[in-house]
Chain A
């Protein structure tokens, strides 16, 4: 395969709360993501998929093991601004217009004004929001706000895009359209993406590879290659191979419950968390 962008080796993450209560969020995680890949992390609530993403983004540090990005430690990569991040909430600044929000990372980098403006406008065209450049975030719908957040994340041309359930709060129809949108942008920019989700169809539709995780402790149980042809479109969602892969991921997720460490109480408990 191509060159490795993300390398997670032997990572454990334990949270310590109130002095002595420990929660093992992740245990023995190994993961590699190659350049230009689109990798989804999927699993039940509490499997540590968001924690893993935050470890890659250096928003939290592993208890054991190493995380490297572009051959550097994650903290170095963060300081080199190798990342773009999109969170579950858009996290737009109310006091800035849409365009100013997209410009934020460029300002932080100290780019000249003219360059910033050109780049911000380019990014807004990419997410097709150029007509809303002068609006304030509160004037946009949830889906549009999230697209602004994506434009902002892409503004620095990051070599790695980290997305943490970015469409979790959207309705199913909007989500499907956003999925197509993300693929279109990804194909245009050729970035590497690590994407956290708990939607199986979303993971299959988007990814080159789906990483299936299980909870307590969080670990990786399956790696499923998604060999659907690209470019993918709405028709992809109606192909047989698509349904087969969806089923495969679903069984992998369920399989986790049957393999040993799962118990029926836990199953019942997690069923409600969904």
Chain B
């Protein structure tokens, strides 16, 4: 037992090391590309002229890593004293709040729908095809309509995040709620357990691994939904707006867009990791099906 735990912990330690190693490799590849085919480097009074020219590696298309870092410390706009990094942290928190509300709403909706479908074959047949079809509707395309219908405020953004979140949860929970061994269901029936009792004591606990698999997908999806929704939603405070604004200012300061993208990536990974930890805590003692 303790040995197994030790091995898991060691495995996690190794994962973190690999992750850091990967980021370092990425940064090295990034700067190597610039070294070989970027714009001339002018530092410390000297000039290095790269032998090739890759259009993607120019200072406009791929700013130096340290330029992005420096931009983080500079004010986000002329005339303010808030740094870009500070601004992005605030924007990330704001977007995360929208995403989290949509995430909770979507997960609740997904679980409720799945519970209904599992108990009624007719409902399942009548609606599941549309639940699946709903995902082929490109959400970006829906965003302007949602905003027009619900007004230019956070509600619209939350609805878009919810829309993206509920689907994986519904599909996974239909499977999860059906996952108990038929013999376990018969056992519950032999105790004359009610449908509600079976749902609560057997189906839901059995479905937890499925739920978490879906929640990890939904965590990212909710952030995607929030970022997409902020544009048409006219929300000025989040990452989505920041990406649009910095994209428009790209020629004068490409570092800002890159910084916003990095912030989005970190936010996505952070939310994923939070759900992963919740999963580890909740499913402690159960055999782990597979990695991540």
B4 to A, closest residue via Cβ: A18
Residues on B with beta carbons closer than 8 Å to the beta carbon of A21? 3
Contacts of A18 in B (CB 8 A): 3, 7
Cα distance A21–B3 when bound, in Å?
10
> Complex Cα distance A21/B6, Å?
14
Bound Cα distance A21, B4 (Å): 13
A residues within 8 A CB of B7? 18
Within 8 A of B (CB), among A43-97: none
Beta-carbon contacts under 8 Å, B1-31 to A: 3, 7
Chain A: CB-nearest residue to B6? A18
Q: Inside 8 A of B3's CB, which chain A residues have their CB?
A: 18, 21
Which residues in chain A, 94-143, are within 8 Å of chain B measured between CB atoms? none
* Residue in A closest to B3 when the chains form the complex, CB atoms: A18
Tell me, in angstroms, the Cα distance from A18 to B3 when the chains sit together: 7
Query: Chain B residue with minimal CB distance to A18?
Result: B3
Q: How many interface residues does A have (CB within 8 Å)?
A: 2
How far does the Cβ of A233 sit from chain B's closest Cβ, in whole Å? Answer: 38
Bound together, the chains give a CA A240 to CA B182 distance in angstroms of 44
A-B contact count (CB 8 A): 3
Q: What's the minimum C-beta distance from A209 to chain B, rounded to whole angstroms?
A: 41
Query: Which B residues between 253 and 274 are near A, CB-CB below 8 angstroms?
Result: none
CB interface residues, A 12-27, toward B, < 8 Å: 18, 21
> In the complex the two chains form, what is the Cα distance from A18 to B2 in whole Å?
11
Q: Would you give the shortest CB distance from A118 to chain B, in whole angstroms?
A: 42
Nearest B residue to A17 via CB reads B3
Which residues of B in the span 88-140 have a Cβ within 8 Å of any Cβ on A?
none
Complex-state Cα separation, A115 to B7, whole angstroms: 51
Q: Residue of B at shortest CB range from A21?
A: B3
Report the minimum CB–CB distance from A21 to chain B (whole Å).
8
Question: With the chains together, A21 CA to B7 CA distance in Å?
Answer: 14
B185 vs chain A, min Cβ distance (A): 23
Min CB distance B9 to A, Å, is: 13
| Complex alpha-carbon distance, A18 and B7, angstroms | 9
B11: min CB distance to chain A, Å: 13
| Closest beta carbon of chain B to A25's beta carbon, Å | 19
Chain A nearest CB, measured from B112 CB (Å): 35
- What is the chain B residue whose CB lies nearest that of A20? B3
A21 to B1, CA, bound (A): 13
Shortest distance in angstroms between A161's beta carbon and chain B's nearest beta carbon? 35
Chain B positions 180-214 with a Cβ under 8 Å from a chain A Cβ: none
Expressed in whole angstroms, the Cα–Cα distance for A133 and B7 within the complex equals 47
The CA of A22 and the CA of B22, in the complex, are separated in Å by 36
> How far apart are B29's CB and chain A's nearest CB, in angstroms?
37
Alpha-carbon distance between A21 and B2 when the two chains are bound, in angstroms: 13
Complex: chain B residue closest to A19, CB-CB: B3
A37 to chain B, nearest CB (A): 42
A18 to B4, CA, bound (A): 9
Q: How far is the CB of A52 from chain B (nearest CB, A)?
A: 27
The contact string, 1 if C-beta is below 8 Å from chain B, for chain A 204-220, is 00000000000000000
Q: How far is B3's CA from A139's CA once the two chains are assembled, in angstroms? A: 43
Question: A201–B104 Cα gap in the complex (Å)?
Answer: 60
The digit string for B35-51, where 1 denotes a CB below 8 A from any CB of A, is 00000000000000000
Nearest CB of A to B75, in Å = 55
CB distance from A259 to the nearest CB of B (A): 33
Q: Closest CB of chain A to B137's CB: distance in Å?
A: 35
User: With A and B bound together, what is the CA distance between A33 and B281 in angstroms?
Assistant: 54
Q: What 1/0 flags go to A1-45 for Cβ under 8 Å of B? A: 000000000000000001001000000000000000000000000
Q: How far is the CB of B292 from chain A (nearest CB, A)?
A: 23
Q: Smallest CB-CB separation from B7: which chain A residue?
A: A18
B5 smallest CB distance to A (angstroms): 11
| Closest CB in chain B relative to A142 CB, distance in Å | 18
> Can you show 3 pairs from A to B with CB atoms below 8 A apart?
A18-B3, A18-B7, A21-B3
- Residues of chain B whose beta carbon lies under 8 Å from any beta carbon of chain A: 3, 7
Contact surface of A with B, Cβ cutoff 8 Å: 18, 21
Q: Which 3 A-B residue pairings sit nearest by Cβ, starting from the closest?
A: A18-B3, A18-B7, A21-B3
